Amino acid sequence: MRFRRAKSEPKIAWWKKILLVVLLLALPLLAASPRHMTARMVADSENGTKVMILNYHKIDDMNISLSVPPEDFDKQMKYLYDHGYHTISPDDLYNSLEGNAELPENPVLITFDDGYRDNYENAYPILQKYGFKGTIFVITSFLGVYPNYITWGMAREMDANGISIESHTVDHKSMTDLTDEQLRSELVDSKRKAEEELGHEVDYMAYPTGTYNLHIAQLVKEAGYKAAFTIKYGNVDKASNIYALERVPIFQTEQTNKDFVERIRYIPLFERFGWVKS
């Protein structure tokens, strides 16, 4: 047969033996290197610090995926606290992306969409317990109207105590279904209403249901917002589109807290292998 071995096996050259020994000794180092490389790549990224933006909705005991039970939310905040994360505001994020300010180590922006009353009753005391900042994107026409949502009084109280109140449009319509005129009024009127109620500028918004396109993003910019948040999965850095910032949605699952830790720990790997950003 053509592929038969030679009759006599040649002796393994001495240098090959040495190479084998060196390789065996180096194996533990090789196995450990991907983790080290990832950490270094994240820290040295030419696009600056990676910022994790968590996205919650309800913090209560309802058995739906949008509801994270208060007990679990507390554990998640404790995890962040114990692992040296530092909460930041949308302004902190914006200023760092613009190159005008440095972020603390392990920065995290904790956001809530819609403005549910449980954010005030359940999430706010837990955030305060850890000295954490938060951000709530409110549907401006719902506040003070529907009992399930915070009031402007609650919004003002939280706004004065480390919780940024931002826009989630006037009435939460899917923006890709609206005319330009409707889009402008959703963006401009919600901004104006929140500014009147809070007594200061409101510079950030989150797209209802996360749906947006580049045309809508342009209208967001024209309405005077500095940045906008999507539900595109990933971390934010200087390569991100400031009007389409990535977030990490946190849901209730069969194993909420285990999933939470996996979600936040594996983002750098997801990004590195191109599984998130195209």
- Residues in contact with Zn ion by CB under 5 A are 113-114, 208
Q: Which residues, listed in sequence order, are joined to residue 165 by a DSSP beta bridge? A: 136
| Least separation in angstroms between CB 20 and Zn ion | 59
Closer residue to Zn ion, CB minimum distance, 107 or 208: 208
Residue, CB closest to Zn ion: 113
**Is residue 203 a contact partner of residue 236, using CB atoms and an 8 Å limit?**
no
> Tokens 């990004």 identify what position?
271
Residue (of 52, 29, 49, 45) closest to 265 by Cα position: 52
| Least separation in angstroms between CB 154 and Zn ion | 18
197 Cβ neighbours under 8 A, 6+ residues apart: 143, 152, 155, 156
Closer residue to Zn ion, CB minimum distance, 49 or 167: 167
| Least separation in angstroms between CB 53 and Zn ion | 15
| Least separation in angstroms between CB 210 and Zn ion | 8
Interior/surface letters 162-173, b for 16+ CB within 10 angstroms, e for the rest: bbbbbbbbbebb
* Strands annotated E in the chain: 52-56, 86-87, 107-114, 134-138, 163-167, 204-206, 227-233, 245-249
Closer residue to Zn ion, CB minimum distance, 60 or 113: 113
Closer residue to Zn ion, CB minimum distance, 113 or 166: 113
Closer residue to Zn ion, CB minimum distance, 136 or 219: 136
| Least separation in angstroms between CB 139 and Zn ion | 7
3-state secondary structure of 61: coil
